[in-house]
Amino acid sequence: MDLSSLARPQALRGGSTGALGAHAARRRSVQLLRPRRPTFRCSVEAAKQQVQGTLAAEAEAARKECFGVFCTTYDLEADEKTKSWKKLVNVSVSGAAGMISNHLLFKLASGEVFGQDQPIALKLLGSERSLQALEGVAMELEDSLYPLLREVSIGIDPYVIFEDADWALLIGAKPRGPGVERAALLDINGQIFAEQGKALNAVASRNVKVIVVGNPCNTNALICLKNAPNLPAKNFHALTRLDENRAKCQLALKAGVFYDKISNMTIWGNHSTTQVPDFLNAKINGRPVKEVIKDTKWLEEDFTITVQKRGGVLIQKWGRSSAASTAVSIVDAMRSLVTPTPEGDWFSTGVYTTGNPYGIAEDIVFSMPCRSKGRW
């Protein structure tokens, strides 16, 4: 299948944006920037230009309509900027009105990923149907008074929301329901990720990091990167960190230890029931798993099946796919990519396989063990 041939949907609309001044507002010498009064000239040509300028301003205001504190721009004096002041990180999130994002966005705004000295801008992508809910999300972010959250934008056009994105978290997709396998979602979600790949290729930062969450995430990540030929393929990831976390949980429960004692856990393959959670190379308190857990039958059968089918069991119990634990795993995945991996350890992420050292087929997206020193 030619993955670049998927067409762009026609029903697109622009986003809304504004700057958060809550942190700056608490500074004494901060001044509120006010718009200049319009000037009028008594001539036909001047009046024509004035009308055209007013119409253009109204069109721009409509495209960037915002609300509350996110609309207010404050001017910081040069001496107010601390030595640790960093350039804004732009994070675009699709499916921003959904359950996963409802947990994730507040973690991002609080500094859990980038640290307590890194200001952040959130650009939230929704749909016509979810736009009102998206405004509600922005209102909650507004009411939370996060000092690091400098900007929030909302909209339904990926070409607007992905502009200058440093990170793109692609969550929006038709979710799994009871009895639905991830592969069944390909026809519907493939169109979404082809379009988003084209938008990223057109307007995002040239070094944007992309984490695909919407299922089937390995295939969607491949579709996305194939539609973004001007971006580095190695910057596209399929989220398998949730599977890694689930595997660590099961090993910790069986061994009677806490989760942080489990290391070197690898998920091979797809985020699906075909994945292989690798207990042979994992460690518990620095020792090989098989030295700690003697129950070989449990490791080879129960452990693997439990991890593979954990998501489906949760859907049966919960009536919907996982949300909070997925948000936590996205944060974990982002931190693993931006911070040095502890010596001797690794993490799992689905990456483009061309040039891989494991003999895995080329030109697919496949989860494997990775390390990072700021770049994986």
Parallel/antiparallel/unpaired status of strands 89-94 and 120-125? parallel
Kindly give the residue spans of alpha helices, DSSP state H, lying in the chain: 22-25, 44-63, 99-110, 131-143, 158-161, 186-203, 217-226, 241-255, 289-292, 296-297, 304-318, 324-338
- Joined tokens for residue 335: 């931190």
Residue 256 CB partners (closer than 8 Å, separation 6+): none
By CB atoms closer than 10 A (0-12, 13-18, 19+), residue 258 is exposed
Quick one: how far is CA 120 from the chain centroid?
Answer: 13
What is the Cα–Cα distance from 95 to 348, expressed in whole angstroms?
24
Is the preceding omega at residue 216 within 30 degrees of 0, hence cis?
A: yes
What is the Cα–Cα distance from 196 to 180, expressed in whole angstroms?
24
- Joined tokens for residue 276: 């292989």
By CB atoms closer than 10 A (0-12, 13-18, 19+), residue 169 is buried
Parallel/antiparallel/unpaired status of strands 276-278 and 266-268? antiparallel
Give the bridge partners for 125, in sequence order: 94, 155
Task: Give φ, ψ of 288 to 5 degrees.
Answer: -55, 140
Q: Is 103 annotated as catalytic?
A: no
| H or E segment to which residue 162 belongs | none
Q: How far apart are the first and last CA of the chain?
A: 29
* Active-site entry in 23, 103, 237, 271: 271
Which residues carry out catalysis? Answer: 271
